[in-house]
Amino acid sequence: MLVPLLAVLGACSQSDESTTEQTESAVTQTTVVSADGPPRLEDGTVNLGPPPGSMGFWTANNGRLVNDPNNYEAARREMNSRVNIEDAPLQPWTLALTNYRQDTFIASEPYTRCKPAGGPRQIMSPYGFEIVQMPEMERVYILTVSNAMSYRTIYMDGREHPAEILRPTYLGHSIGHWEGDTLVIDTVGFSERSWTNRDGLPTTDKLHLTERLTRSSLNDMDYTFTIDDPGAYTAPWTSGFGVEWNADQEVFEYMCQENNISPAAMVGEGRLSIIVP
């Protein structure tokens, strides 16, 4: 829906004929291949959004980065992740902080205070997310429904990261490229206020995150990431999870900032957190 809209807006000062041509071009940018493969754009690039004439969005089918027997949620202890926490190269302080966050029921998580979620936390956010490809702008956007209802920009124009990130942010600075049918996202510039996931694993402003999104069919996509953060881990490490397509559904407005009662419902350290809504 976003692509046709931008085409129309961009042509509003031109003739009706020009507007029609641009709109039709935008509408026909995507096409569906065989039922066994993913939908693709006209140029053959995998389409990470809905095929034309349809709607849908993505949700994580697991969303855990590690198996942690100390996880505060019994149900999440039963989920299967690709990595056990004892195999992740956590520094001693990182493991201690992770355990503390579980002991306090992740009461200080920024997500519950309507802060943006980047990296794995964005992909595993409740209520799903959309991916919008804008080939003519050489950008990809990831639109999140929940918490801050924020979006992340991935620059696909071949640029590098800034030589110096002057102000680290929750979402960081992302550049991307395609490796076959896999979208590779390279991100730096995270602030230490950002949580990478609900498991409570901390990161620092030294984090270099590499994400790989591979849509193998209309309904399935693999999400894999590598965390390279010498401030919190002794070596880079990789995990991931599957993502499922929710066909014939649309995302909705989720206004976390209005009447947010989550912080008041938190216990212990969460009531005294300096992270405020």
State the pLDDT at residue 35: 60
Q: What is the pLDDT along the chain (277 residues), one digit of tens a residue?
A: 444 433 333 333 343 444 444 434 443 444 544 467 899 999 999 999 998 889 999 998 877 899 898 888 766 666 678 999 999 999 999 999 999 988 888 888 888 788 888 889 999 888 889 999 999 999 999 998 876 778 899 999 999 999 988 889 999 999 999 999 999 999 999 998 888 888 889 999 999 999 999 999 999 999 999 999 999 999 999 999 999 999 988 887 777 777 776 766 665 554 544 444 3
State the pLDDT at residue 111: 80
Q: How would DSSP label each residue in 86-144?
A: GGS-B-HHHHHHHHHHHHTTTTT-GGGGT----THHHHT-TT-EEEEEEGGGTEEEEEE
Q: pTM value?
A: 0.82
State the pLDDT at residue 138: 96
Give me the residue spans of the domains in the chain: 2-31, 56-272
State the pLDDT at residue 133: 95
State the pLDDT at residue 2: 44
State the pLDDT at residue 24: 40
